[in-house]
Amino acid sequence: MATEMITVFIVVFGLMVGSFLNVCIYRIPKKESIVFPRSHCLHCNHQLRAWENIPVISFLMLKGRCSSCKNKISFRYPVVELLTAVLFLLTYFRFGLTIDFLVYIYLLCLLVIITFIDIDTMEILNGLLILCLIVGVYPVLEGGINSIYQSLIGALSLGLGFLLIRMFGQFLFKKESMGFGDIKYAAFIGLLLGWKMALVASAIAFISASVLFLILLPFGKIAIGQRIPFGPFLSLGALLGLLWGTHILEWYLNLVF
Ligand SMILES: [Zn+2]
């Protein structure tokens, strides 16, 4: 199959999976089934017909409104669909059509679900972390005994590091500024990436969170000591660490030394 064909196939597949991830993001926190009932409008319960359920395209055709009650459809649906397609494509460019590709798109899907549920509910659900763990051990097994140590040190250092940050935040602001979910998620990322890449990932997470904080602060959208969902930043760090961690680390070391 020509590369162009594969690329198109992966984009379409990514959009379709993204559409399913939207359902998961919306229904899992409510403990609803992700299979039944079929997709419907959240305002009027109008059941989506096939042509109203095409990723991104239906949103554009419907001009972002339900065909029945004309209420707005969240802009986030096409965003998640496009994001998933882009993530699938980047993973393909990085790993080719390999087992790695399949393992990591599964993982990235979970990262997308965790990220958006964390934004909505400020919670990182244990069930999703367990689903992560199923493939989190894959790179460990693949890399042999050396990799097991790297991963265990990664999990321990990130888990303990984030626990310390939580305690420090509690001492400083006298309230919870980082949830246990973030600590478990960080430990998982340490396990997945090994300690070197995990350090890159957590540096990216803290830098991106700080940048967003400094942008939002003057607008009064956020206050010092306010608890923010940290999952999205950890996901960003994990993604960049997974795809380009070695390059980022080399670039940083060249910059410093
Ligand atoms: Zn409707």
Comparing 53 with 144, the larger pLDDT belongs to 53
Contact in structure between 42 and 101 (CB atoms under 8 Å): no
206 found inside a domain? yes
Q: Looking up tokens 């051990």, which residue turns up?
A: 137
- Do residue 163 and residue 87 come from a single domain? no
Q: For residue range 55-87, what is the model confidence (pLDDT) as tens digits?
A: 999 999 999 999 999 999 999 999 999 999 999
Predicted pLDDT of residue 146: 67
Q: For residue range 99-153, what is the model confidence (pLDDT) as tens digits?
A: 989 999 999 999 999 999 999 999 999 999 999 988 777 777 776 666 888 889 9
Domain that holds residue 131: 126-257
118 found inside a domain? no
Boundary residue ending a domain (97, 115, 140):
97
**Closest by CA position to 23, among listed 88, 82, 83, 81:** 81
**Ligand 1 midpoint to CA 67 (Å):** 7
**Closest by CA position to 151, among listed 161, 140, 160, 162:** 140
- Do residue 211 and residue 134 come from a single domain? yes
Contacts of 50 (CB under 8 A, 6+ apart): none
- Do residue 141 and residue 256 come from a single domain? yes
- Do residue 88 and residue 150 come from a single domain? no
- Do residue 13 and residue 72 come from a single domain? yes
**Ligand 1 midpoint to CA 32 (Å):** 20
113 found inside a domain? no
Number of structural domains (the chain) is 2
Q: Looking up tokens 């961690």, which residue turns up?
A: 245
34 secondary structure, DSSP code: S
159 found inside a domain? yes
Q: What does each C-alpha distance from 181 to 144, 172, 236 come to in angstroms?
A: 29, 20, 16
Angle of helix 3-27 relative to helix 76-95, nearest 10 degrees?
140
- Do residue 146 and residue 90 come from a single domain? no
203 found inside a domain? yes
Q: Using CB atoms within 10 A of its CB, is residue 75 exposed (0-12), middle (13-18) or buried (19+)?
A: exposed
Q: Which residues surround ligand 1, an ion (CB under 5 A)?
A: 41, 43-44, 46, 66, 68-69
The two tokens of residue 171 are 């001492």
Contact in structure between 237 and 202 (CB atoms under 8 Å): yes
**Ligand 1 midpoint to CA 168 (Å):** 47
- Do residue 91 and residue 134 come from a single domain? no
**Ligand 1 midpoint to CA 38 (Å):** 14
d(CA 165, CA 171): 10
Boundary residue ending a domain (52, 80, 97):
97
174 found inside a domain? yes
163 found inside a domain? yes
- Do residue 134 and residue 254 come from a single domain? yes
Q: For residue range 152-205, what is the model confidence (pLDDT) as tens digits?
A: 999 999 999 999 988 988 888 887 778 889 999 999 999 989 899 999 999 999
Predicted pLDDT of residue 24: 95
108 found inside a domain? no
Q: What are phi and psi of 72, to 5 degrees?
A: -70, 140
Predicted pLDDT of residue 5: 93
Predicted pLDDT of residue 169: 84
- Do residue 49 and residue 145 come from a single domain? no
**Ligand 1 midpoint to CA 73 (Å):** 9
- Do residue 252 and residue 150 come from a single domain? yes
The two tokens of residue 27 are 């229904």
- Do residue 84 and residue 133 come from a single domain? no
- Do residue 93 and residue 38 come from a single domain? yes
Predicted pLDDT of residue 72: 92
